Amino acid sequence: MFKKLAVAGTVLILTISSLPTEAAAEQDNLDKQLQEWEDDGIDPNHTEVMEDVTAYIKENADEHFAGRFIDRKERELGVLVFLFTEPLAEEHEENIYDLVEDPAEIEIRIVDYTEEDLLDKQAEIDAGGFNYNDFSIEHTAVSVTDTHVEVGINPYTEENAAVIYEEFGEELVHVVEGAAAYTMNDVNETGMSTASEVENGELNFFQRIAAWFRGLF
């Protein structure tokens, strides 16, 4: 849906040129659908189930818990995905599924790295600076869904990407072509979003996309 839209530790990425009319229409349709569900008394974020399952995990299976997110790729109403670095004991898995009530659906996935691992790697990359001899880092973004840290560089070449992989390793890092970035100060100055506007719902189209995308993680 989007070529580039990410929130990094120090940089908010919003490439407006990557959001064509059809993407705008798709986002508007999603907004309308979410509002219809809420009007019908359906929580599209399945907050109660999310909280119940999370509480159970923290009490009984927190050691290998890696993160959570809502996956709307295959189901607009969303699937609550809970990530673990090792398989759960059968008892705990059954107890978790027993906590699920319609219309919520959940999925348990096994991953190699936790969200904390990814955030630590992102912080390491950000701390190294954004300017290199032949290129610059335009953004970094944690992808819990794909369990890697995306690093956008400009200009992108295989040689420049190899520099990042050499410095930070390949296991947690995925280098892509970077896009022009906005700092948080730029975001506020250009009116893209502020904390109060997010809380109060005072967002234009591009602001809603940024806020919605952040909610996936």
pLDDT 10s digits, 134-176 = 999 999 998 888 889 999 999 999 999 999 999 999 999 999 9
Question: Which CA distances in Å does 141 have to 56, 120, 162?
Answer: 29, 12, 18
* Distance between CA atoms of residues 16 and 170, nearest Å: 29
pTM, whole model, 2 decimals? Answer: 0.59
Q: Which residue has the tokens 């790697």?
A: 121
Q: Are residues 90 and 121 in the same domain?
A: no
The total number of structural domains that make up the chain: 2
Query: Is 212 contained in some domain?
Result: no
Query: Could you tell me if residue 106 is inside a domain?
Result: yes
Residue 216 lies inside a defined structural domain of this protein: no
Same domain, 180 and 143: yes
- Asked whether residue 81 is domain-assigned, the answer is yes
Please give the residue range of the domain that contains residue 63: 47-110
How does pLDDT run across 68-109, given as a tens digit for each residue? 888 888 888 889 999 999 999 999 999 999 999 888 899 999
Indicate the burial class of 181 (C-beta count within 10 angstroms; 0-12, 13-18, 19 or more): buried
Separation of CA 205 from chain center? 19
Last residue of one domain, picked from the residues 77, 110, 143 = 110
